[in-house]
Chain A
Amino acid sequence: MALRTLITRKTLGLGLQSEARNLGFGFRHARELQTFSLPDLPYDYSALEPVISGEIMQLHHQKHHQAYITNYNKALEQLEEAMAKGDSSTVVKLQSAIKFNGGGHINHSVFWKNLSPIHEGGGEPPKGSLGWAIDTNFGSLEALVKNINTEGAALQGSGWVWLGLDKEMKKLVVETTANQDPLVTKGANLVPLLGIDVWEHAYYLQYKNVRPDYLKNIWKVLNWKYASEVYEKECP
């Protein structure tokens, strides 16, 4: 998975902190434990306006994503301690915190790459093999968008709606996950191409209760280039 590959590569270089931060990922060593830090956005907070306000982007990144990372790191440290002591109760008890917060970190890291300012190609429909795969699997891009918007609007509570690739079957799927469950919880072979955050914090300040409007508009800043890259890597 992209995230893990990037972190593994980083261990080879010296001056890890600055190099990693430039590329959007950072981590520090605490003994053997790898912990995480907030990746930079590849664009300014206001770059996605008027589709997503700068206010939302800043809160979403600096508060929500950061909180997941902080709590994920804390849970990992507690897990390391519990594992070293053979404290099975604590190991098991920590699983939900790891799933929530680790999932939150994974999902948001993908999400920032799923978005792109309009002047940098955000919203441009997919070409090449992904475009073709979408037509094959869903009939048309419009049909896919309608599918995702329907699923996203119908999701009760908090969660995500995904365009995923089943890398075994080489098929595209639309899936939803609850809370911060990553796509892989719906199938071990599923790779996220695009994820749309439908937690209320992702849109409320701007769209209030009208989640369907948020979903309708977000396609204008969706980064199909990233989705294509991931797709082509798994289906060369």
Chain B
Amino acid sequence: MHSTAVATSLTCALLPFQGILGALESNHCLQWRKQERRCSQKARRTLVAAQFELKPPPYSLNALEPHMSHEIIEYHWGKHQRGYVENLNRQILGSELDGMALGDIILVSYNKGDLLPAFNNAAQIWNHEFFWESMKPGGGGKPSGDLLELIERDFGSFEGLVREFKLAASTQFGSGWAWLAYKANRLDVGNAINPCPSEEDKKLVVVKSPNAVNPLVWDYSPLLTVDVWEHAYYLDYENRRADYISVFMEKLVSWEIVSYRLEMAKARANEREEERKREEEEENMSDIEAVEMYLDSETDESETE
């Protein structure tokens, strides 16, 4: 299943990148935690449960001042995100989701849009970890290298991307998120796979999503996100969401991490293509073998007779 491939590739790709970058990739920590199982402190002694933890942002809570206040991060991370973690742990304890990696819980509980109870908490944990890691003190500026090239190809210019991202973020009605994502050969229809993939289909796209939904459920690779739930900006910007988004783009985005995520996404897409080619070859081989077997048995029969 794609979800497992995604989770595994993220881990494998990251092992050589232990340092700061390794720590930044949320799934890596969660996979590791899955192996390092901890006993639940609740009643059942025989039950061993993997518990998700409240992972801190990769900077101190006041490091994004004055663009994002210490106070708002204290509430946003310390209360909202903590709530999602505690609620998810409670929800999955003893269930079939217990022990699964976060990415897998998200995909299973998304349930093709008919959300199961664990989805909101699981996805929001993932989204928030991804969000904190999308920012850095002294962020902003412009991307470079491969990322800038793809941006210019798919949005015309960096300014074009900024415009589209801001538009998505400000028109996501109600609660939700805006994303820059890498869409590797995915068609615009559900989980359909492009039968004739080409380089042009591996595109950068800007998408928006409501509440807890994220592009993992469409099998895209998220590269950047901004939280547009009101709790993400209200204490700092009140109703002025547009100001918050501008400041996010100009002062907070870590284009380094976006570039890194793009490299991972491209590697993952190539790996998947290789795997599919291998599977196709194996299928062809077994077809040929089946035909040969059929011919052989015919010959045998005639011989015995």
Contacts and interface: CB of A to CB of B under 8 A. Distances in A.
A5 interface: no
A99 to B, nearest CB: 9
A204 B239 contact: no
Interface in A176-206: 178-180, 199-201, 204-205
Contacts of A96: 173
A179 B234 contact: no
B239 A63 contact: yes
Contact of B231 (A179, A180, A209): A209
A94 to B, nearest CB: 13
Contacts of A8: none
A156 B239 contact: no
Which of A63, A199, A200 has the most CB atoms of chain B within a 10 A radius of its CB?
Answer: A200
Given A178-B174, A201-B230, A205-B234, A157 B239 contact: no
Interface in B168-199: 173-176
A180 B174 CA distance: 8
A157 B212 CA distance: 8
Contacts of A209: 75, 79-80, 83, 231
B234 A200 contact: yes
A180 B173 CA distance: 9
Given A158-B175, A158-B230, A179-B173, A205 B235 contact: yes
Given A179-B174, A209-B75, A209-B80, A156 B120 contact: yes
A208 interface: yes
Nearest to B71: A208
Interface residues of B, number: 19
Contacts of A179: 173-174
B211 interface: yes
B238 A63 contact: yes
B158 interface: no
A10 interface: no
B229 interface: yes
A178 B211 CA distance: 11
A105 B230 CA distance: 19
Nearest to B239: A63
Interface in A57-92: 59, 63-64, 67
Interface string B227-243: 00111001100110000
B239 A208 contact: no
Given A199-B230, A200-B229, A208-B79, A157 B211 contact: yes
A100 B173 contact: yes
B174 A157 contact: yes
Nearest to A208: B75
Nearest to B232: A200
Contact of A200 (B120, B210, B230): B230
Given A64-B239, A179-B173, A209-B231, 12 more contacts: A59-B238, A67-B239, A96-B173, A156-B211, A157-B211, A157-B212, A158-B230, A200-B231, A200-B234, A201-B230, A204-B230, A204-B234
